[in-house]
Amino acid sequence: MQCTDIRPQHARPSQSSTVLASLDEAADFLRTLPIAEHTEPLIDVMEAADEPEMEPRAWQAFETFACAMGLRVRLVA
């Protein structure tokens, strides 16, 4: 899996699918993971992305984490 796109993502942590169309939804998704206690620094970064130019970086941070954790992430069609 190539992790280079920073648009809203479609993540499948197991058999179920969750559509993530905003950084807030992505942060909520992270809070549902069994390792949620370790995602707080990332959530802080994502929630601090209140300027349009910061959003791509926040998505990139989310995508990097998703790749590192082996989450199956793909673009929303």
- Residues 13-57 have pLDDT tens digits of 555 566 788 888 889 989 988 999 999 999 999 999 989 899 999
CB 63 within 8 Å of CB 3:
yes
The predicted model scores a pTM of: 0.71
| Beta bridge partners of residue 75, listed in sequence order | 9
For helices 55-68 and 23-32, the axis angle rounded to 10 degrees is: 30
For residue 75, pLDDT over 50 is answered with no
Residue in this structure with the two tokens 């673009």, named with its chain if needed = 75
The one-letter amino acid at 70: G
For residue 74, pLDDT over 50 is answered with yes
Other C-beta atoms within 10 Å of 74: how many?
12
